[in-house]
Structure 1
Amino acid sequence: MAATQVLKSEWTKIKSVQSTIWTLSLAVIVTIGLGVLISILSKNEFQKMSPQDKLAFDPTFVSFAGMSLGQLAMIVFGVLVVSNEYSTGMIRMSLAAVPQRGTFLFSKITVAAALALAVGMVTSFASFFLGQAMLGDLRANIGDPGVLRAVVGGGLYMTLIALFSMGVASMLRSQVLALGVLMPFFFLLTPILGNVSATKKAGQYFPDQAGSKIMQVVAPAGDDAPYGPWGGLLIMVLWVAAALVGGYVLLRKRDA
């Protein structure tokens, strides 16, 4: 089967599964909605902040507060794109139709990445502009130094979260198992390691902790990360690459 046909096939699979569409819709709604809410609360609480907190106040990053929950939906999306075929047994038919497993996985990743990138960029820009509108006089402008990079970075961050989840799901092949690994990893392990002094230096190199640096314009108080925004994103890209390579290697070695 030609590569273009495989891409069309993967696009058909994704859009025909309602759960993936609903998951992406939820990512948009939750990320924007929570970002707007936190922006309103931040504006109301700004005058009560300490002078140090005011200096470290990052209006751009505040509007991305919803990413913490929005990434949950992107994780589920990435897992569903891969695991749906395993749970239904459709993977056997897919690999029979496309025996070149590299082509099969690359096409799936390409289609899902393009969709996640489109959703991520729309979500990031909408979160920024709506959040800044709520902040009023505290708002940042898209032309301010570092702001456009942070907004574009927000879309890239959401895309990379989905791709990392696809790689893990490709290795584990089970929706329940993949979510059982990814949810504690992102919502328990990395926040704990990133905030406990004894493990903070190691926690800085986890994908979400490093990747979220791209969305910051003002460095938070006490930030001693040995990398900048693009360095953090590169660390996240390396995690994603490792997960996808792992998924590809295991796909080639195992039976469907």
Structure 2
Amino acid sequence: MAAPSAVLQSEWTKVKSVRSTVWTLVSALLVTIVISGLICLLTATQWKNLDSNDRLQFDPTSTSFSGLWLGQLALIVFGVLVISSEYSTGMIRTSLAAVPQRGTFYASKIAVTGVLALVVGMATSFITFFVGQAILGSHSTSISDPGVLRAVFGGGLYMTLMVLFSAGIAMILRSPMLSLGILMPFFFLISTILANVPGAKKVARYFPDQAGSKIMQVVSVNDERPYGPWAGLLIMVVWVAAALIGGYVVLKRRDA
């Protein structure tokens, strides 16, 4: 029987030894910071051209996270690769032979993935916020203003949950191509489109990304979502829990 500490060490070694997984996290950080910074710069330079309604709805905190829509692409890829790369190479058989306790194996893999995502997510969130506010200048907000620290901290939690959701789906599907083929269109097309369709947005607002992103919002003018920031994050947690439980059930019942 493999000791949990040894399994954790093994999973950490797997992650850091595969360059593609490491670089996806680095890419998530860099892309989010750069794109957010550019959008903040564009906003600051075009401020005088905004009408009164746009200025009323302006949320400097949310604007500093505007590059996350692209940065989360790398987060999704990371969550998928950490799980499904062993299936695509056939190494999953060796891993399960070495660690026959599938619950311990799965928990260790998710724990390592979650901790890495949390560290990178928090670093990305705070750096992105401070860079964005520096660029916004006189139109910026402060970390001490009401709701701002919650939004910045919540941004790191959102990124972590996005990775864990992707990992759970990847364990269910056990294929990197199939997992990415479902997750990418869902988050970048289906969720966004349905959220803007009158007849469907009442359902789309409960999708994991739509609900979870509420935590990063401070100014909520004209926001029709019927829940608050923490309730939105809780909805996302339920999605993540369902994905992770589904992944465990599949791992437990199916052969490698």
TM-score bucket (shorter structure): over 0.9
Counterparts of residues 223-242 of structure 1 (less than 5 Å): 223-242=223-242
Superposition pairs for residues 62-211 of structure 1, below 5 Å? 62-211=63-212
Secondary structure of 1:195's aligned partner:
coil
C-alpha displacement of 1:153: 0.6
Whole-angstrom distance in 1 between the partners of 2:48 and 2:241: 44
Q: Could you tell me which amino acid in structure 1 is paired with residue 213 of structure 2? A: S
Counterpart residue number, 2:39: 38
State how far apart, in whole Å, the 1-side matches of 2:46 and 2:245 are.
45
Identity of aligned residues (%): 65
Is 2:246 aligned against 1:246? yes
Which amino acid in structure 2 is aligned with residue 235 of structure 1? I
Q: What one-letter code is carried by the residue in structure 2 that aligns with 1:252?
A: K
**Structure 1 stretches (4+) deviating beyond 6 angstroms?**
none
1:23 paired with 2:5, answer no
Deviation at 1:198, TM superposition (A): 1.1
**Residue 218 of structure 2 corresponds to residue 217 of structure 1:** yes
1:223 Cα shift?
A: 1.2
Offset at residue 222 of structure 1 (A):
2.4
Instruction: Between 208-217 and 221-230, report the one with greater CA deviation.
Output: 221-230
1:16 corresponds to which letter in structure 2?
S
Deviations 1:186-240 (A, max 9, x none): 0011001111111111110000000000000001x42111100001000000000
After superposition, residues 43-62 of structure 1 pair within 5 angstroms as 43-62=44-63
Distance 2:44 2:200 in 1: 33
The answer for unaligned runs of 5 or more in structure 2 is none
**Match of 1:114, as an amino acid?**
V
Q: CA RMSD of the aligned region, Å?
A: 0.7
Alpha-carbon deviations, 1:40-74, whole Å to 9, x = none?
01112222222121111000000001110110000
Single out whichever of 47-56 and 204-213 deviates more from structure 2. Answer: 47-56
Q: State how far apart, in whole Å, the 1-side matches of 2:148 and 2:240 are.
A: 25
Shift of 1:98: 0.8
Q: Which amino acid aligns with 1:50?
A: D
Distance in 2, Cα, partners of 1:111 & 1:243: 17
* In structure 1, distance between residues paired with 2:222 and 2:154: 22
Q: Distance in 2 between the 1:48 and 1:33 partners?
A: 23
Partners of 1:46 and 1:134 lie apart in 2 by 12
Task: Give secondary structure in 2 for the equivalent of 1:158.
Answer: helix
How far apart, CA to CA, are the structure 1 residues paired with 2:35 and 2:151? 18
TM-score (norm 2): 0.98
Provide the rounded CA distance (Å) in 1 between the counterparts of 2:91 and 2:202.
43
**TM-score normalised per structure 1:** 0.98
CA distance in 2, matches of 1:204, 1:133: 31
